[in-house]
Amino acid sequence: MKFFIVSGALFFSVIGCSCHGGVNHNRSVTDNVISREYVVVIDNTEQDPSAAQKEIQSAIEDCEVKMISKNIAHIITDPKKDDPGLEKIKTELSKFKWVKSVEQNKEVHIN
């Protein structure tokens, strides 16, 4: 059991690095929506950002959560697992009063 936990952690840390350490090569875009990536606005006066990061991480299985600013979290779900989808993530996070919005990450273009 410990072997699986440790190797799972190692595996996920690699995925986490590629997910939040640069371009997500597992990314696909449909109608400017980037799959498997979600953006959460929190009220950082009601919840400390690092506590928020931990709580979101616990609430959503198989994902990496990074605070990209004091009030915004970026979630990337594990490409090896089923993506829960926007509605499920919204439902899971609705128990936190300090979560203000949940959306998908979107593609933007220079012009």
Residues near other proteins (CB under 8 A) are 20-23, 31-32, 34, 37, 39-41, 68-69, 71-72, 74, 100-101, 103, 105-111
> Which residue, 54, 21, 39, 52, is CA-closest to 102?
39
Kindly state the helix (H) or strand (E) to which residue 15 belongs, with its residue range.
Answer: helix 2-20
Return the number of the residue (2 or 97) whose C-beta is nearest other proteins. Answer: 97
Write down the least CB distance from residue 14 to other proteins, Å. 15
> Which residues have C-beta within 8 Å of that of residue 76, sequence separation ≥ 6?
19, 20, 24, 36, 37, 38, 63, 64
Write down the least CB distance from residue 12 to other proteins, Å. 18
Write down the least CB distance from residue 21 to other proteins, Å. 5
